[in-house]
């Protein structure tokens, strides 16, 4: 039978042995643990400071660019700062290297401090592209083109950004589907070719008559053109008010 004193000595021995092992284990791992803790503290420090001021450098930069440049949309990525941002929002943003592309900015704050911010900036603007393929001399109508955002570095020179500038205009060359429309692809005036079916609006004091006709010459909208009345076979002259209508006055 083991005495109470023996049991006490045995327990004290086990306690001492466990303490020695824990001490050895802590001594072995403590430098690594401390190094890991320091690294995590460094990595977590910057986002904590940035969020502390309840403002985002990326959002601040995007808002500034959209307010000061004519682009329809801006995309910012790979944003880097040379120092921790203060809690307050910047009082001014200075452009040191103009976007698009890798751009450089200086954020200035009220307390005479500033940080340098670099970011990859992509800029987009609205253009109109063809919904399908069209042949030369085709007159563009509502729905033939649609707007889309395109990165500005890919937008061709003279790209049209307002649909009103295209409707009713003939193409001076054939185009394929999804082609950005430029000023050089359309004529400033709609050209109606000889032989085009038109409606003849014959007007005089007290009455007006409509009849089907056909143009007898090429003409631009707004010009006077000769046309034949398909019912009477009579040649008349009237103003081409649009590509489908000739107004004849008596």
d(CA 126, CA 124): 7
2, pLDDT greater than 50: no
103, pLDDT greater than 60: yes
47, pLDDT greater than 80: no
Give the residue ranges of DSSP H helices in 76-206: none
- Of 37-46, 67-76, 211-220, 240-249, where does mean pLDDT reach its minimum? 37-46
Q: What DSSP designation does 184 have?
A: G
d(CA 172, CA 55): 51
d(CA 132, CA 232): 39
Q: Tokens 């900036």 map to which residue?
A: 121
Q: What is the mean pLDDT of the chain?
A: 83
Helix (H, G, I), strand (E, B) or coil at 78: strand
Express as a percent the part of the chain with pLDDT over 90.
59
Q: What is the pTM of this model?
A: 0.58
pLDDT at 76: 97
Count of other CB atoms within 10 angstroms of residue 34: 10
Stated as kind and residue range, the H or E segment containing 120 is: strand 114-130
* Confidence class for position 40, pLDDT limits 50, 70, 90: very low
185, pLDDT greater than 60: yes
């Amino acid at each position: 039978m083991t005495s109470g004193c023996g049991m006490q000595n045995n327990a004290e021995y086990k306690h001492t042995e466990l303490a020695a092992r824990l001490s050895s284990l802590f001594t072995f791992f403590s430098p690594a643990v401390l190094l890991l803790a320091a690294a995590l503290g460094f990595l977590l420090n910057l986002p904590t400071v940035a969020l502390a001021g309840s403002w985002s450098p990326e959002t601040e930069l995007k808002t500034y660019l959209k307010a000061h440049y004519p682009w329809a949309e801006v995309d910012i990525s790979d944003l880097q700062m040379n120092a921790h941002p203060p809690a307050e929002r910047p009082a001014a943003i200075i452009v040191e290297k103009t976007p698009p592309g890798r751009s450089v900015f200086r954020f200035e704050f009220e307390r005479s401090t500033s940080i340098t911010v670099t970011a990859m900036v992509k800029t987009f603007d609205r253009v109109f592209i063809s919904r399908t393929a069209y042949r030369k001399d085709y007159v563009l109508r509502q729905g033939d083109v649609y707007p889309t955002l395109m990165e500005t570095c890919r937008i061709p020179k003279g790209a049209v950004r307002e649909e009103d500038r295209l409707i009713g205009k003939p193409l001076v060359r054939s185009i394929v589907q999804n082609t950005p429309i430029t000023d050089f692809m359309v004529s400033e005036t709609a050209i109606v070719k000889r032989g085009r079916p038109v409606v003849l609006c014959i007007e005089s004091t007290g009455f007006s008559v409509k009849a089907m006709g056909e143009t007898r010459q090429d003409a631009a909208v707004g010009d006077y053109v000769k046309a034949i009345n398909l019912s009477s076979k009579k040649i008349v002259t009237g103003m081409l008010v649009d590509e489908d209508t000739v107004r004849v006055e008596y």
